[in-house]
Structure 1
Amino acid sequence: MSSLLVSLPDSVLREAVGDLPAGVEVVEWALDGPAPRPRFDLVVTPYMGKTDRLAHLAGVETGLVQSQSIGFDGVDQVLPAGHVFANAASVHETSTAELTLALILASQRGIPDFVRAADAGAWAPAHHPSLADRTVLLLGYGGVGRAVESRLLAFETTVIRVASTARSDERGVVYGFDALHELLPLADIVVVGVPLTAETTHLVDDTFLARMQDGSLLVNIARGPVADTHALLAHATSGRIRLALDVTDPEPLPAGHPLFALPNVLISPHVGGASSAMLPRMARLVREQVERMLRGETPLNVVLTS
């Protein structure tokens, strides 16, 4: 292919992408209205919360629709027929793993309690559980799960991996979902990082939480509906388990929601990928997709063909 027409959603990503090979034309389009051209070789979508804009691709010919997110739940319901859709694997794994460790460490070492005490002008030393020597169950073992595992191992933890499909790799066994019932009571910390599907919606329910140890920590970095909010609230309100949530259902969590008031619940506002690492990695992925198209090669990260 000797020439390409690419749409990018904003000037920030355009500047980060920088110079592209000769013959590549770039148009800024945030999918916020009718397409400015009848055909694009590559369309990069806006980041976060704008899945409904994919409907504007109806009647537009594309070679590839490139998301800026890893998750693509709901895309198949909106993406018009005739399009190939790729996710942003390789862009967010590092940042999401960093936030996961931050949530775990803050929860384990009582950082929110210290911050609240400091806000009140109080010196409040306390003894809290370590991360070292804890058993952590990773529920979901894709790119994010592997990135979290690599960081957890440096903290001298024991890691149990669980995914939709059981398998083995160089680090041992990856258990299937069917083993969860037996594995949950073994974990001090459970990290949920599965994609949102019909199978995983409300996977974390009352039965799931009841299998967790008293005093254990549940960390959700997946999607809010993977967990049943009523069950989370009931188990956290009792004080039996602790929560660290980067995602909630509903999202955003409404002002005054009872989860906000619980001292054993730490909430971040869906910012797993929102760090300085995102933009250069997204720009690198865009450049790689462009170069692959120019060479006539298959694009990376294709997850849907409508």
Structure 2
Amino acid sequence: MNQPSDNAGAAASGLPRLVLAVAASERDAFFPPPADELGRLAQVRTVEPQDVQTLAEFSDVMGDADIVVTAWGFPRLDAERLAAAPRLRLVMHAAASVKYLVSDALWEREIVLSQAGSAMGPAVAELSLTATLSLLRRTHRMDHALRAGIDWDTAREIPRAREMSGSRIGVIGASRTGRAYITACQALGAQVTVYDPYLPADDPLHGVAQDLSTLVATSDVVAVHAPETSETHHLIGAAEISAMPDGALVVNTARSALLDMNALFEAASAGRIDVALDVFDTEPLPVDDRWRLLPNVLLTGHRGGATADSRRRAGLIVVDEIQRHLDGRPLQHAVGRNDLSTRG
């Protein structure tokens, strides 16, 4: 149900109109009560994303909106919908990927777009680190075996565990998340290399940069932290997976489309590599999905960035960006048309 905020004098005081289209299940995580941070900046109307899917619903809610705060499930802002929101000047995305949300009409209208994806970087990197440590120590295999009722001695008959210190970690993508992951791995003594074709020559990581074929063939762990773009689709294909050494570990907390998931499954089901996945081609993951059956695979349900801390960081970014917009100051997390080719 649509609910106006309780900031009664907002309209009379000339505050802009803001639509908060974040699902109730996530709203308080971004903007915990009793704080009314958005209400001090604008007249807020709260809606559920599923309640603005049709053009009529969208027009009813967005017709007088100056700002919209989105997260997941908000409809694509195409020309038809933007025509129904003539006053819209700022789209503030509280999550990360904005590709599904924008269209050429957004840029033609010169509507400002910003997103709070940087808030999720530390959380995703931490889950990736957790998965890496679990795979190295074979925690997932032991857990599967003991829960399946396998006897103690047989459950302990797993490949010898490895420590992070001295392990060769190959990172695909020097993104914000990738860099946070690299810092954590290096702090634990890992030997890190990185593949990122957009890495500037003066970047501190340039000294550990490698080409993709070398990285996958020489890494104990391959961790994926690149965005999903046309260039990165199946970046790690059958040839790259085949080139990985026996016993290699793959960690993907980015997007499933970056890997050929069929080729990855073949290698994992053959027992040649171990895998940790937080993202899948089909989500929610079906209860009978093939990945659920492999004891050498660690699965989490696309929750890498969903910590209490990251949600609160994102909420603070949203508030700060809106304040900057209203003050006429440059936004710190603005996204331009050209950014979409290198961002997810």
What is the SS of the residue equivalent to 2:308?
A: coil
For structure 1, the residue ranges without an aligned partner over 5 or more in a row are none
Moved more, 162-171 or 119-128: 119-128
**Aligned: 1:99 with 2:127:** yes
1:9-48 aligned at under 5 Å gives the runs 9=21, 10=24, 11-12=27-28, 13-15=30-32, 18-20=36-38, 22=40, 24-31=42-49, 32-33=51-52, 34-35=58-59, 36-47=61-72
Q: How far did 1:169 drift?
A: 2.1
Q: Decide which of 174, 177, 181 is 1:148's aligned counterpart.
A: 181
Is the Cα–Cα contact under 8 Å of residues 62 and 84 in structure 2 kept in the other structure?
Answer: no
Partners in 2 of 1:255 and 1:78 — Cα distance? 38
What is the SS of the residue equivalent to 1:52?
A: coil
Q: How far did 1:57 drift?
A: 4.6
Equivalent position of 1:302 in the other structure: 334
Q: For 2:95, give the aligned amino acid.
A: S
TM-score (norm 2): 0.79
CA RMSD of aligned residues (A): 2.6
Is the Cα–Cα contact under 8 Å of residues 250 and 274 in structure 2 kept in the other structure?
Answer: yes
Compared CA separation, residues 281 and 23, structure 1 to 2 (3 A): closer
Equivalent position of 1:170 in the other structure: 204
Q: For 1:153, give the aligned amino acid.
A: Q
**Aligned: 1:59 with 2:84:** yes
Partners in 2 of 1:129 and 1:79 — Cα distance? 52
Compared CA separation, residues 271 and 23, structure 1 to 2 (3 A): closer
Q: For 1:75, give the aligned amino acid.
A: L
Partners in 1 of 2:83 and 2:123 — Cα distance? 33
What is the SS of the residue equivalent to 1:280?
A: helix
Partners in 2 of 1:39 and 1:144 — Cα distance? 37
Is the Cα–Cα contact under 8 Å of residues 219 and 244 in structure 1 kept in the other structure?
Answer: yes
Is the Cα–Cα contact under 8 Å of residues 321 and 333 in structure 2 kept in the other structure?
Answer: no
Partners in 1 of 2:31 and 2:46 — Cα distance? 8
Q: Decide which of 283, 286, 303 is 2:315's aligned counterpart.
A: 283
**Aligned: 1:257 with 2:289:** yes
**Aligned: 1:183 with 2:180:** no
Q: Which structure has the highest strand share of the two?
A: 1
Is the Cα–Cα contact under 8 Å of residues 96 and 273 in structure 1 kept in the other structure?
Answer: yes
Q: Decide which of 9, 12, 16 is 1:4's aligned counterpart.
A: 16
Partners in 2 of 1:163 and 1:21 — Cα distance? 41
Is the Cα–Cα contact under 8 Å of residues 84 and 305 in structure 1 kept in the other structure?
Answer: no
Aligned residues: 301
Q: How far did 1:270 drift?
A: 0.6
**Aligned: 1:75 with 2:108:** no
Compared CA separation, residues 131 and 14, structure 1 to 2 (3 A): closer
TM-score (norm 1): 0.88
Partners in 1 of 2:260 and 2:308 — Cα distance? 32
Q: Which structure has the highest helix share of the two?
A: 2
Compared CA separation, residues 166 and 305, structure 1 to 2 (3 A): closer
For structure 2, the residue ranges without an aligned partner over 5 or more in a row are 1-13, 53-57, 339-344
Partners in 2 of 1:207 and 1:174 — Cα distance? 23
Equivalent position of 1:248 in the other structure: 280
Is the Cα–Cα contact under 8 Å of residues 76 and 101 in structure 2 kept in the other structure?
Answer: no
